[in-house]
């Protein structure tokens, strides 16, 4: 069973360009989470999605950031008009849907975004 897949692993963008980060959850997982890790900091929650639904986006910046998890295909985190402060590692995690259980979140290897 393949783990959580993220691509690309490294992404370089110039200021003002768009960044698209992809996450394929583990097989059978219907919950996806995105976290951002700034240098020398812990991970900060951004958004929680289920298939075709955004459940909690309380950690997402109000502008330029969006996320989706379509019925088919990977989850996408999109950053428009990137700025240098967006440089960070972006991690995706997935978990299964188990009623009444505290399910583990499985993390992908991350996408390291560098904005020049």
Partner 1 sequence: AQSVTQLGSHVSVSEGALVLLRCNYSSSVPPYLFWYVQYPNQGLQLLLKYTSAATLVKGINGFEAEFKKSETSFHLTKPSAHMSDAAEYFCAVRGSGSARQLTFGSGTQLTVLP
Pick the binder of partner 1 from 79, 91, 94, 113 (CB under 8 A): 91
Helix residue spans in the chain (DSSP H)? none
Helix (H) or strand (E) holding 37: strand 31-37
Cβ within 8 Å of residue 15, ≥6 positions away: 81, 82, 83, 84, 115, 116
Pick the binder of partner 1 from 52, 70, 104, 116 (CB under 8 A): 104
Determine if 75 is a binding residue for partner 1 (CB under 8 A): no
Show the site string, 32-71: x = touches partner 1 by CB under 8 A, - = not.
Answer: -x-x-----xxxxx--x------xx--x------------
In the complex, least distance from residue 94 CB atom to partner 1, rounded to whole angstroms: 11
Q: Which is nearer to partner 1, 105 or 114 (CB)?
A: 105
Q: Evaluate whether 70 touches 85 at the Cβ level (below 8 Å).
A: no
Query: How many Cα neighbours within 13 Å face the side chain of 76?
Result: 13
In the complex, least distance from residue 16 CB atom to partner 1, rounded to whole angstroms: 27
Q: How far apart are alpha carbons 56 and 17 in whole angstroms?
A: 26
Residues near partner 1, by CB under 8 A: 4, 31, 33, 35, 41-45, 48, 55-56, 59, 91, 93, 95, 102, 104-110, 112
């Amino acid at each position: 069973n393949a783990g959580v897949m993220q691509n690309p692993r490294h992404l370089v963008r110039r200021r003002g360009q768009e960044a698209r980060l992809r996450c394929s959850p583990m097989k059978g997982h219907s919950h996806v989470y995105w976290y951002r890790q700034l240098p020398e900091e812990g991970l900060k929650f951004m958004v929680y999605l289920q298939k075709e639904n955004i459940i909690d986006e309380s950690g997402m910046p109000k502008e330029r950031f969006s996320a989706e998890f379509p019925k088919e295909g990977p989850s996408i985190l999109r950053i428009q008009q990137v700025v240098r402060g967006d440089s960070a590692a972006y991690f995706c995690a997935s978990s299964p849907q188990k009623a009444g259980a505290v399910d583990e979140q499985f993390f992908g290897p991350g996408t390291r975004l560098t904005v020049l």
